[in-house]
Structure 1
Amino acid sequence: MGETTVPAWRKSSRCATSTCVEVAKVDDQYLIRDSKNPEVTPLSFTKAEWEAFVSGVNAGEFRF
């Protein structure tokens, strides 16, 4: 049986003390979770999906 990789969750340095989105990379997947609910199954994205999201953030596509 193969080893299980434990995600190394990272928070933004700008997040509040009680509410934050956390990101982890496991193999070729990027995982996203809410720090208030770490027991909930995280969302999972491919490298291409993650890079498209980051590119959109950097381009200002999510500003309201």
Structure 2
Amino acid sequence: MKRLYRSKDNRVLCGVCGGIGDYLNVDPTIIRLLCLLLGFTGSGLIAYIVAAVIIPEE
């Protein structure tokens, strides 16, 4: 069974985007760009912080 974890190897800040990229089998750079675009809305930054706290580390 596949589980969502924050990545230890593929991280820039907390490993959230790297973990989501690994989970979805997508390049983490694409996930990082989407998070950056959502970050401009304000709610994306809050969602990233919440994900960094909730998602367990690998």
What TM-score do you get using the length of structure 2 for normalisation?
A: 0.31
Is the radius of gyration larger for structure 1 or structure 2? 1
What TM-score do you get using the length of structure 1 for normalisation?
A: 0.30
